[in-house]
Amino acid sequence: MSYSAAGDVTAPGVQVDITGGDSGCTADDFAGFPAGAVAVTMRGACSFAQKTQNAADAGASAVLVINSSDELLSGTLSDPSEIPAVGVSGAAGADLLAAGDALELRVMVDSVVQTRESFNILAETARGRDDNVVVVGGHLDSVEEGAGMNDNGSGTAFVLETAIQLAEQAPPRNQVRFAFWGTEESGLIGSTRYVEGLDEGELDDIALYLNFDMIGSSNYARFILDGGGELPDSEAAPSGSGAIAAVLKEYFDSQGQVSEPGVLSGRTDYRPFSLAGVPVGGLFSGADGVKTEEQVEWYGGTAGETYDPYYHTAEDSMANVSSDSLSDLSAAGAYAVEFFAESTLPVNGVFRAAAAPDFPRLGDEWVR
């Protein structure tokens, strides 16, 4: 688990309320737990951090969390833990559970938990309404295992190139702010700190946020972040988010390109904006979901494989970025940035002032 303490312990493994559905979630689960043993828990009902803290409080020397599926479990604790915490695949977990009381374990975690400094980089157009700002962002960091060319070199390359191209155009009606977020992979830290650092007026001045996290997946799909709540697994998004999705869909439609809503999972940097009430949207070419036959008809690629088999691996290199995906999604993203730089009317009802020259003015307002 990320943020696990380091350690090397050899001790009996003791099952903790394995069948209750909320294994390790309460102090009661650890009643009679032998001090120094390794707590063996199941995933579910509460956070990995909660199970780990309860185990530490009960005197466990380490904690295992067994996945609910056969895959390996790579969890993240919210804070550095006091004892080693390890995720276990459901398949390996079944063997451990089958051993029952006879389980003797050696648990070794070689980890470093330290405080590091990171940065966001922001740039904005000199012109345009600064009370109706369009923010366009992607995360600049990647995971330690990988080269990071798709996650998220693809998104940040799009944001950078769009900024360069926009600077060559006539001044936008609305100010456009480009954001390169630090430390997304460790828990959306850069974007969260940025939003937390805005006062109410500054937050109010942001019309919408567009996110680009992975747009060059090798086995790609054209996913539009589901601001309209079309998918059952999507988080609720602020009003106006559906209109952002509609603008992106209209663009793909105009090109004769299929697109689909992509689950608004809250797993990347739009989340702090969404929680603060800012309409959000963006594009995504897919990561660990599996491509269907129907999607192969739409986009090509391979059915039954994940959208990005190189996701968070050392093979996330230039060789495994799809230039078709990058170019299709970049074109749509650039269209949306230009569209909203001109007018955010469909999202928040704010129209470019120059479009209403026949209305008399009262102070700063147009009067109909």
**Is the Cβ of residue 151 or residue 226 nearer to Zn ion in the bound state?**
151
Q: Are 276 and 195 in contact (CB under 8 A)?
A: yes
CB of 267 to Zn ion, least distance (A): 8
Catalytic residue among 184, 235, 250, 297: 184
Encoding tokens for residue 256? 């004769």
Query: What's the closest the beta carbon of residue 188 comes to Zn ion, in angstroms?
Result: 10
Which residues of this chain interact with Zn ion, rule CB under 5 A? 151-152, 213
> Could you tell me the smallest distance in angstroms from the CB atom of residue 158 to Zn ion?
13
CB closer to Zn ion out of 29 and 316: 316
* DSSP for residue 76: B
Question: Which one, of 238, 202, 204, lies nearest residue 122 by Cα?
Answer: 202
Measured between alpha carbons, how far is residue 139 from residues 9, 88, 151, 244, 294 in Å? 37, 29, 8, 20, 31
Q: Is 202 a catalytic residue?
A: no
Task: State the Cα–Cα distance between residues 262 and 220, nearest whole angstrom.
Answer: 12
* Contact status, residue 300 vs residue 323, Cβ threshold 8 Å: no
- The β-bridge partners of 41 are 65
Q: Quote the CA–CA distance of 272 and 195 in Å, as a whole number.
A: 6
For the chain, give the longest Cα–Cα distance: 85
CB of 5 to Zn ion, least distance (A): 26
**44: β partners:** none
For residue 252, the minimal CB distance to Zn ion (Å) is: 22
CB of 283 to Zn ion, least distance (A): 13
Amino acid identity, position 60? A
Strands 85-88 and 62-66: parallel
**What number of other Cβ atoms are within 10 A of residue 146's Cβ?**
19
Decide the pairing of beta strands 361-362 and 365-366: antiparallel
What are the tokens at 33? Answer: 């737990």
Instruction: Give me the active site residues, please.
Output: 184
